[in-house]
Amino acid sequence: MSLTTQLKQHHTIRNTILLLTGTLFVYGIMTKYMWLIGGLVLLNMYALMLMARDKRIVKKSHGFRIPENSFYLLAFCYASLGVVIGMFLFHHKTQRLTFRLIPLLIPLQVWLLYLLYQYV
């Protein structure tokens, strides 16, 4: 499978996961918690699995690499905890400055969720 085909496949899967979790997120806001938590868990597990997959590919030194923009997108879409756990669990991307700033998103996202829950 060519790298272009693998990139298109990755983008399709990533976008599907984001759409599914976004739907659960919106429905969770309307029903207060239950689906919101499920969507966040699903999204963070996906981010953790992507970090593991990318690290495994780096060790083999061949194959399709997960674009860094995918990790940034997931982190900004409330999967920052999954990305951070993956960084430290697999010792992956820990030297990059932009990835070391991702843990700062966690308190901000928790605060935004709190505000959203209070005022919606």
- The structure tokens listed for 46 are 């996906």
Question: Nearest 10 degrees: CA dihedral of 90, 86, 48, 107?
Answer: 170
Beta strands in 12-67, from DSSP E residues, in sequence order: none
Alpha carbon of residue 81 to chain centroid: 8
Find out whether 109 and 117 touch, Cβ atoms under 8 Å. no
pTM of the model: 0.79
- Average pLDDT (10-39) is 77
Statement: residue 46 has pLDDT above 70:
yes
pLDDT score of 4: 81
**Residue 1: helix, strand or coil by DSSP?**
coil
pLDDT score of 104: 92
- Average pLDDT (4-25) is 82
- The structure tokens listed for 3 are 């790298």
Question: How does pLDDT run across 25-44, given as a tens digit for each residue?
Answer: 777 766 766 777 777 888 89
Mean pLDDT score of the chain: 84
